[in-house]
Structure 1
Amino acid sequence: MAPISTSTPSAAVQAHLSGTQPHAIRRPTSQRPNITASITKVLVGMKEDVFMVHTETLRSSSGFFQAMLRAGANFKENVENQVKLPDCDSKIFTLYVEFLYTGKLFTQLLESADITVHEERRVLVGLLKLADFLQDETLHNAAIDYLTNPAGFPISLVALAHKNLPKDSQLIRLLLFKCIHGTVGTTYNDGQDHDIESCADLSEFWWAVAKGKEALLNKIYLENKGKPDPIWSATSGRCTYHVHKDGKMCE
């Protein structure tokens, strides 16, 4: 993780240098930031980039960290307060840590202001992959929301998803559903043909789309007498493809 910049003095130092004093605030310890909380060292990637993160922050929404760092656990990682994630991308993990502390999903890895929507989509798929590995439903659901534009999605997203995620992933299921129930224009070509070409064979996905459309048309014209399929309005919401460990759907 990049070292903390020392170019900008803290608010307290700036107040001292300007001759003013920071406001004294009466607040119980329980309502103040816990700067003495336990810290866990996370070593990410083959180069073992170091991230120092509050243990409770790591445990806040990740089933992976909750199990590994739970109180009384006799794991080596728990005893040493150190976790290794050799198969994870340190740049993506940086965004995850930012998400944990800010609640915001940052999707830019480069300094360039010319980041493309496609590059951003790559980052989001990377975050979704990390979310599933760490069993973090909060991050998973946030990434799903950003990736599924109601207006449609590029064909290259299908390739990206198949390249990085298991075939039964929620994102691939959602893309399949949208392709079956969507109209012309649901998918479009964003010019990223190299992603489609470099991906594993997608014929199984498009065959499932064709079979799904056939079944849908039969249902509309034979069972529904030409009326739209009510399943579309009932299950097309992104919440259907969120992770809900408690069984409760989104509000």
Structure 2
Amino acid sequence: MDQYWGSRKVLYTGGEKKWHSEGPSHKLLKIVRVREHGPFEDFANAPICTYLGVLTLSRLARVMSPHDIFFLVLGMKNVLQSEALEKYSLSVFLIENFVTSIVRDLKELPPPSPSKPRSSVLTLNPHGYPTEAAAISKLKSVGHQQELKYRVLYIPTSPTFPLVDGFFFLNSPRRTLAGLQMTRAHAHHTKTSTVRQFTEHLSWFFTNWEEFAQGLSWEIIYVQHADSTMISKWQRCGPVNPNNETDAEKIIVAFWDGRYTNTSLC
């Protein structure tokens, strides 16, 4: 967190230590008014946009502990909407100690017969965790398609981005798209139209997506709050009207049931 006192700037690291700087990074921040319960209000700093916020936390995650990252994100809880706060908290997946410590808590949800359950790719390869983050904004803001990379945590900046809150790709033990979804619900089923929108977004943003997607496995890790009822059953994918299922929707459902893994983390 940054605070400005007159012409002096105080920067806090880890929520405890602080140092002084004469070169404030004001171009990356905005001052916001904070009003909680009662007549009083305060001022605080917040990332000037989600795009720069994601990039900043990506760099901080390389030098800070999971505890300090959580502390930093929670310090912004009064100046950010809950959706943005959840996206920023995904930065802990960039930290090796965090990923290796949670793999034993990943619960694979049994798929419908005849498919057989598969262990999470992070359980089989915890060192395949992402090592850097990239923000996905509207394509017109970027100007051109991006090259898809393994072990990069892609965090969409749009609140209407479909299906997941973030995702990354692993090359081992199988080529996998690993999606991260923050949820409080005890169930989080998916519509075929949402899956289609998600793949359309990826084809717009990444070069050679159609070729890369061939033979690609999918996995969604449902990251739940501690006070949530844990997801324990397979999260299905289906059309809005099951009595009028199109051929395209049937293909998506077959893919979901055959090459897709449900994993829960609470």
Q: TM-score scaled by structure 2?
A: 0.27
Higher strand share: 2
The structure with the largest alpha-carbon Rg is 1
Higher helix share: 1
Greater RCO, CA 8 A, separation 6+: 2
Q: TM-score scaled by structure 1?
A: 0.28
